[in-house]
């Protein structure tokens, strides 16, 4: 079977997803990181339709950092609460500061996808309350950082990659030190839990390209339990 066929088969039959064959936890990947290749492939078109609909309610926007810079990535959220950044700091807000309305709801199909990915990775009770939607244009990137604005670090983080491929950088508990580079493509899902949950990570500059599902963009959904 061709590689891309294998990926499609896997996600069309998420209930039958065979972790032994398709999920990789080391030695290639650091402890706590599980790559579910193609896990979201069959859902990708629906996810992207939902993303487009949500963008009309809470448009993606660059956010200002406490240091006064602007994120190169455009962001929005869905869920009970959303991650925001401005001169006052990073935090979660129930109301979108741009629209002054609640964020769009987290669709049940999105919740199911995230929960199933977490379950396959050893986290049976993942119930996210926030989903950050990152829109990457060609030339944008996300520098090394930690996710530490959430209350409960025992919950994993689930990320879904859509559209153009990118190289993900995964470091250690400190900003310096070696990083592992993980290539991510359309439909891949990664689950970060345990010790990996606090580690530094980032995304290299998005290279030029054209993807049938998203055009010249990459979209990443980051599911978190923030409250």
Binding site for ligand MD3 (CB under 6 A): 132, 134, 142, 147, 157, 159, 190, 192, 196-197, 199, 201, 203, 220, 222
DSSP state of 211: B
Backbone angles phi, psi at 201, to 5 degrees: -160, 160
Nearer to ligand MD3, 7 or 224 (CB): 224
Contact 201, 169 (CB under 8 A): yes
**Binding partner at 155 among ligand MD3, Fe ion, none, C-beta below 5 to 8 Å by kind:** none
Work out what residue 220 binds among ligand MD3, Fe ion, none; the CB cut-off runs from 5 to 8 Å by kind: ligand MD3
User: Which residue lies nearer to ligand MD3 by CB, 126 or 192?
Assistant: 192
Nearer Cβ to Fe ion, position 10 or 75? 75
Nearest approach, Cβ of residue 18 and Fe ion (Å): 29
Alpha helices in the chain (DSSP H): 3-12, 19-22, 44-57, 108-120
Return d(Cα 43, Cα 47) in angstroms, integer.
6
Q: Residue 2 CB, nearest distance to ligand MD3 (Å)?
A: 27
Say if CB 75 and CB 130 are below 8 A apart. no
- Spatial neighbors of 48 by CB under 8 A, at least 6 apart, are 162, 213, 214, 219
CB of 16 to ligand MD3, least distance (A): 25
Task: CB nearer to ligand MD3: give 10 or 158.
Answer: 158
SS3 9: helix
Which of Fe ion, ligand MD3, none lies near 11, with the C-beta cut-off 5 to 8 A by kind?
A: none
What is the spatial order of strands in the sheet that 189-192 belongs to? 23-24, 33-36, 189-192, 157-163, 217-224, 130-137, 74-79
In three-state form (DSSP H/G/I as H, E/B as E, the rest C), the secondary structure along 105-163 is CCCHHHHHHHHHHHHHCCCCCCCCCEEEEEEEECCCCEEEECCCCCCCCCCCEEEEEEE
Q: Do 82 and 132 meet the contact criterion of CB atoms below 8 Å apart?
A: yes
What is the closest distance, in whole angstroms, from the C-beta atom of residue 202 to ligand MD3 in the complex? 7
Q: How far is the CB of 3 from Fe ion (least distance, A)?
A: 28
Q: Any idea what DSSP says for residue 63? A: -
Nearer to Fe ion, 43 or 147 (CB): 147
Rounded to a whole number of angstroms, the minimum distance from the CB of residue 191 to ligand MD3 is 9
With CB under 5 to 8 Å by kind, the binding choice for 129 among Fe ion, ligand MD3, none is: none
Binding site for Fe ion (CB under 5 A): 147
Looking at beta carbons only, is 42 or 196 nearer to ligand MD3? Answer: 196
């Amino acid at each position: 079977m061709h590689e891309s066929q294998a990926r499609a088969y896997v996600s069309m039959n998420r209930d039958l997803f065979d972790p032994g064959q398709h999920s990789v936890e080391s030695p290639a990947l650091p402890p706590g990181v599980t790559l579910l290749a193609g896990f979201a492939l069959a859902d990708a078109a629906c996810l992207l339709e939902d993303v487009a609909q949500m963008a009309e309610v809470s448009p993606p926007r660059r956010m200002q950092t406490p240091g006064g810079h602007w994120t190169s990535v455009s962001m929005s959220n869905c869920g009970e609460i959303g991650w925001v950044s401005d001169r006052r700091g990073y935090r979660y807000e129930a109301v979108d500061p741009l629209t002054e309305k609640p964020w769009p709801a987290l669709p049940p199909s999105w919740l199911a996808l995230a929960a199933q990915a977490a379950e396959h990775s050893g986290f049976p009770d993942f119930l996210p309350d926030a989903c950050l939607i990152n829109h990457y244009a060609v030339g944008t990137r996300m520098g090394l950082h930690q996710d530490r604005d959430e209350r409960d670090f025992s919950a994993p983080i689930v990320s879904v990659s859509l559209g153009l491929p990118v190289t993900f950088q995964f470091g250690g508990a400190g900003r310096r030190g070696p990083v592992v580079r993980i290539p991510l493509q359309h439909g891949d899902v990664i689950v970060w839990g345990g010790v990996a949950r606090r580690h530094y990570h980032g995304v290299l500059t998005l290279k030029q390209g054209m993807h049938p599902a998203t055009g010249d963009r990459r979209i990443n959904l980051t599911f978190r339990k923030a409250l």
